[in-house]
Amino acid sequence: MRRAAAALALFVAACSRAPAPAPEPVEYASPGGRFSGRLPAAWRVDETPGENRLAAFFGPGTGTDAEMIAVSFFPAGSRWKTPLDFALAQGLGARAEPPRSAVVAGARAVDVTAERTVVDEHRGRRVLRVRSLLVPAGGGFFALQDFTDPARLADGADFENFLASFKPGTAEKRN
């Protein structure tokens, strides 16, 4: 009986401990100094460039379950002439909220959120929520995007922290 009481006391003590604090965010600086921002320490970084993508960051989880933040830069004269053109295109074929004004890195930005149905080769059709903050900078604009599965109920705190710490650097592409 005493052993059971002692085991129960240990169990209760273990359950009542505060959870370990989350690791401190880390400062990320893109190659060539194009931008920087703070991310949770456990996030994975993919610096494989795309036509306009500079980097992507993947949160906890794997594959299609991971939250993703992408940073792209669209120079003047590219496919999207203005941030508003990009924002309006995000709403095509999707349930979109009207674009809103925001401030990122001290600059006026456009904030647009859309939910669209995508086809995932592993999970079939599903809904994806995409929030885009479009920030004018040196001869174009940055698109800071958060991709989440609404079913995961992500609170957006990691993206908000990234936005609060985002600093544009040199906008021109370097080869």
For residue 11, what pLDDT band results from cuts at 50, 70 and 90?
A: very low
Average pLDDT of the chain?
79
The number of beta carbons lying within 10 Å of the beta carbon of residue 21 is: 6
| Superfamily covering domain 24-168 | Mog1/PsbP, alpha/beta/alpha sandwich (3.40.1000.10)
User: Does the structure show a pLDDT above 50 at 10?
Assistant: no
- Give the whole-angstrom CA distance, residue 158 versus residue 166: 12
How far, in Å, CA of 97 to CA of 127, rounded?
Answer: 15
Mean pLDDT along residues 43-72: 84
Residue 54 amino acid letter? L
**pLDDT at residue 85, rounded to an integer:** 84
Q: What is the pTM of this model?
A: 0.79
| Distance (Å, whole) CA 139 – CA 34 | 13
Residue 88 phi, psi (nearest 5): -65, -35
pLDDT of 76 over the 70 cut? yes
User: What pLDDT, on the 0 to 100 scale, is given for residue 174?
Assistant: 41
Per-domain residue ranges of the chain: 24-168
